[in-house]
Amino acid sequence: MEVALRDKRNLECDLDFLRDKMKTILKEKLELENNLGMIQKHELTRLDELEYKFSDVSDQFIRAKEELAALRITEINLTEQLGQAN
C-alpha cells in the first residue's frame, strides 16, 4: 500500500511538473506568435512603402522619357530650321 501511495505522489509531482512545463512552453509559443505577427506587420508596411516609392520613381522615369522625346523633336525641328536658314 505504501508503495502505491508513494508511486501516486511521484506521479502527481511528475504531472504537476509537466503541467508547469506545458504552461511555460505555451507562453513562449504565444510570445513567438506575437513577435512574428509584429514582424509581419512591419514587413508588410515596409513593402507597401517600397511599392509606393517604386511606383513614384517609375512615374518620374516615364515623365522624363516623355520630356526627352519632346526635347528631341524640338531639337530636330530647330536643326531643320537652321538648315533651311542657311
What integer pLDDT is reported at residue 41 of this predicted model? 97
Cα torsion for 32, 34, 35, 41, to the nearest 10°?
140
Per-10-residue mean pLDDT for the chain, 86 residues long? 88 95 98 98 97 98 98 95 82
CA 40 – CA 17 distance, rounded (Å): 34
What integer pLDDT is reported at residue 26 of this predicted model? 98
Helix H or strand E encompassing 9: helix 2-85
- The cell for 13 is 509531482
What integer pLDDT is reported at residue 84 of this predicted model? 87
Cα 50-51-56 angle, rounded to 5 deg: 95
What integer pLDDT is reported at residue 1 of this predicted model? 82
What integer pLDDT is reported at residue 82 of this predicted model? 86
Residue type, 39: I
What integer pLDDT is reported at residue 72 of this predicted model? 97
